[in-house]
A and B are shown apart, each in its own frame.
Chain A
Amino acid sequence: MIIGEQKTLKEIMDNLSGHGSILVAGCRSCVAICLAGGEKEVGVLSEALRIHSDLEGLNWTVGEVTLERQCEKEWVREIAPLVAEVDCVLSLACGVGAQTVQELFPDTRVVPGLNTSNMGAPEEQGLWNEKCGGCGDCVLHLTGGVCPIARCAKSLLNGPCGGSQEGRCEVDPDTPCAWDQIYQSLKRLDRLKLMEDVIPPKSWIPSRSGGPRRIMREDALLTEDEKRAKEGLE
């Protein structure tokens, strides 16, 4: 899932300055799980904005809505009547959701309420760890199921650097060394042999360096006729 974290109240207020009517839009997916932008957070933040407006005499109107998923057009279209009423949407979705809203409502300013951080997983209550860097060319089969791209501070591909100590990363002793974990995992899986192979330079083309990525499934695309038929049904 995508992990995000709310911007500070101060930054959010500053970014909203100049607007009078605001729709706070949450998302029930990933950002709800990481306690950053779900229905509950929308309620709390909206209330804070109202109090701030009262104290400062700003006269803001603050509306609330939480979508099933803010990254999908079908869901986002449903809030068109609400967006028509405001001059700004404060999106508590991840950057993908915020951009989808902006694309569908190009004349209304969308302001991000979250800092989208990474692709990760909830580790325990209140703790989320990055797990994948989206490199587009997965090597987990070589690394015991532990990602060296996202989880090693140097994205090394051939074993731990000289700073790995007692299973900890040299960059932050609170972080496990990814390569130590890879080593332990391969040992458990009886595949330590893999650590002997030199992994050659990686192609980063499927990663960020090729520009924005696009995946297209020819077999799943609708024909023009099918698109029209679908719109007719809606």
Chain B
Amino acid sequence: MKAGSNIERLFDKGEFVVTGEIGPPMSSNPSSIQEHARHLKGFADAFNLTDNQTAIVRMSSLASSVICLQEGVEPIMQMTCRDRNRIAMQSDLLGASALGVRNLLCLSGDHQTFGNQAESKNVYDLDSIQQLMMLRRMRDESKVWGDTDIKEAPRVYLGAAANPFADPFEFRVTRLAKKVKAGADFIQTQAIFDMERFERYMKEARSRGLHEEVHIMAGVVPLKSLGAARYMKNKVSGMIVPDQLIDRMKGAEDPKEEGISICVEQIHHLLTIEGVHGVHIMPVAWEKKLPEIVERAGLLPRPVL
């Protein structure tokens, strides 16, 4: 056991793990996180707390994670390379571990020009792979980067993101392999709409044996409207939304209902793919729908250890 987090134990038992996502508020008021945590408790095994997602200033991921813990919900703290150098990253991990945060997701992060601080100076001292290397070293070798010993190493289960749809496609599985080599215990993928391409990706990952070295969780995003589907197809880089899904949303009488149905079907499909050990549901600003999705996908009740 590396950290003893809920999701680590579930993965170890061979359970199909479900994670969700809670977006921290653009405010110093904790109530929205508390409400989401209470409402979503029991419907997923842990929740990602995003780190200034799309480079928009929000409550910190660390603080938001601790608020979740106080509600009895397991957090996955996200940490981007955009805003901190290796000193801040290591310091935040020591602090997070001290406060009881047991999962951390390493990310390069959305570029600052996408958010509300476009003029800021970015950091990118490390990339997400180097970040994994460094944080794993802290946990497994009790060393900060360089050679200084840590008296009590942080206890953390390390995650990384993967985008099977970015280019060059042939390199995506190699990059996954690099993340595994660098220290990823689990992987959450970008939202999957193009199942055919994801199947090819998983086939390649299996051929390298990666599905046995790391727990791959497939990402899904429920579509809320035709506009949202089009937005993701055209505006979100690294995302592929097949036309057939756009058509389905277009023809739907109740687009919201259709979006949920599509999401549930996707989860059913993902459950059949060898090497997929869980699903990561990202209901961007639609957190309240998560219980319905999990229930209709037949993933309830969540196992309690």
A residues apposed to B, CB below 8 Å: 153-167, 170-171, 177, 180, 183-184, 195-196, 198-201, 204
Contacts and interface: CB of A to CB of B under 8 A. Distances in A.
Contact of B238 (A159, A164, A167, A180): A164
Contact of A201 (B86, B108, B163): B86
Interface string B106-126: 001111011000000010111
Contacts of A159: 129, 171, 174-175, 178
Q: What is the predominant secondary structure among interface residues of chain A facing chain B?
A: loop
B177 to A, nearest CB: 7
Given A161-B108, A198-B130, 4 more contacts: A162-B162, A162-B166, A196-B177, A201-B145
A107 B259 CA distance: 71
Given A157-B130, A170-B238, A180 B108 contact: no
Contacts of A154: 81-82, 108-109, 111, 122, 124, 127
Interface string B60-97: 00000000000000000000011000100000000000
B174 A195 contact: yes
Contacts of B202: none
A30 B81 CA distance: 35
Contact of A166 (B114, B167, B171, B190): B167
Contacts of B175: 158-160
Contacts of B250: none
Contact of A204 (B125, B168, B178, B237): B125
A200 B127 contact: no
Interface string B150-175: 00000000000111001110010011
Contacts of B133: 198, 200-201
A161 B131 CA distance: 14
Nearest to B86: A201
22 contacts: A154-B81, A156-B108, A157-B127, A157-B129, A158-B178, A159-B129, A162-B237, A163-B110, A163-B238, A165-B167, A165-B238, A170-B111, A170-B238, A171-B113, A180-B168, A183-B168, A184-B168, A195-B171, A196-B178, A198-B181, A200-B130, A201-B134
Contacts of B182: 198
A35 to B, nearest CB: 27
6 tightest A-B CB contacts, nearest first: A162-B163, A170-B237, A163-B237, A158-B129, A156-B127, A201-B130
A191 B305 CA distance: 48
B294 to A, nearest CB: 25
Nearest to B134: A201
